[in-house]
Chains A and B, each alone.
Chain A
């Protein structure tokens, strides 16, 4: 089995509060895997544990066969995992273009350049001198995605990129992701919206109270299975 990333009994805490209770997860190269779950289920916590924002046992996260659990975030990016964080977190005092350039800070070699990002999201080229935070929500999300791509990741992680956006904008963003996916992107997408999650992914995990409550092929899972795993009823 050739996984790109896998977790093995991954646990995470905020101080004394345990948020994850042994997550087993895997993603293969060129796969898009969605994670769904109610508010507070532990989706963002899981991503933070993978990217080193929260500490984890070394062996509980493996990337390309290497134990990387607990590795510091700046090292994890250099290893090839890029994150589009919840709430976008653009740098307000940097222009759009500077935000994108920050993504390339690690100088990882690969196909992504400013021009490629502008090709993917043409509107960003027009606004490249504007402060990142002066854009609409959808455009800001494009900057956040472009910034993550600029690190030439082998694994892209997106935390609720559709949150607060109009349906048409969500569609536009996922069309762009699908376009990148055709060129061999591996991605984990966290989604509140079950239908979007099912549509864009090959496999799907549902989290509930810090545990995996359901996993399977996105197209095989039934509405009943999902709502049971989602709400625990």
Chain B
């Protein structure tokens, strides 16, 4: 019994990381109907930028975030305004092709600069600390911090979308970008702000990823799959849905891994396919 409770706890916690990967993906898809195929590679890019900040600037990982997140916001804004805005149309193909191209470019640049070696961000021993829940149950401090960040970001994004002028502009543009333009919204700018936020979150997610596990330049596509699965499982109704999707994926993988050490990722995929078949709009679909 304890084994399964432990599996669920670990699954929930890793789900927080998947949710961090997934939020930007669902935000960009929700507002622009744009699937960013390079999303996972941006996670890894941010892990490497974080690694540089820690190793070359000598920063603590959490201080590094304060440097990497603004850089990520700027990269996101420039990426959208300089490239992706020109690919947005009713036809999804151009943006898929262009972001696929960006994915390849990022992987090759990372290989060029950092070689194919696996790396890790030194978290100063944080990765081995844990909090005891009962005699034989414990939760890692780092996974708890990651999960807590995911919850805070979810609250923050829900608040931004529900209560600010920018959030209203995001929703209005998502509903009808032509009518939004008639209200004075510059679509190009709003889209760039959305991508800035999406990539900004990856600044946090990438560093957490690098602290939790090792990473290498070609790891991006796997992270994209997890993010994508979390979005589909959660549905596009709200960021809470995305968080739930990440958590459900994490639990499925964790339980799978207890059944057989090789099954973790596979059980996650099976659950994803099951959701696609039986609940194609996810568990928390858009209601209006």
Contacts and interface: CB of A to CB of B under 8 A. Distances in A.
Interface of A: 51, 53, 72-74, 77-78, 82-83, 85, 89-94, 98, 101-103, 105-106, 131, 133, 147, 151
Interface of B: 165, 168-169, 171-172, 174-176, 178-187, 286, 288
Given A105-B165, A105-B169, A91 B176 contact: yes
Given A89-B179, A93-B288, A105 B185 contact: yes
B184 A77 contact: yes
Interface of B is mostly: helix
B33 to A, nearest CB: 15
B181 A72 contact: yes
B179 A51 contact: no
A94 B9 CA distance: 37
B46 to A, nearest CB: 30
A91 B165 contact: no
A106 B184 contact: yes
Contacts of B286: 93
Contacts of A85: 179, 182
Given A53-B178, A85-B179, A93-B288, A74 B184 contact: yes
B172 A91 contact: yes
Given A102-B168, A105-B165, A105-B169, A94 B183 contact: no
A94 B178 contact: no
B288 A92 contact: yes
A94 B176 contact: no
A78 B288 contact: no
B194 to A, nearest CB: 15
A214 to B, nearest CB: 29
Q: Which 6 A-B pairs have the closest CB atoms?
A: A106-B184, A89-B179, A77-B184, A73-B181, A91-B175, A91-B172
A77 B182 contact: yes
B176 to A, nearest CB: 6
Given A93-B288, A105-B165, A83 B182 contact: yes
Contact of B183 (A93, A102, A131): A102
Nearest to A53: B178
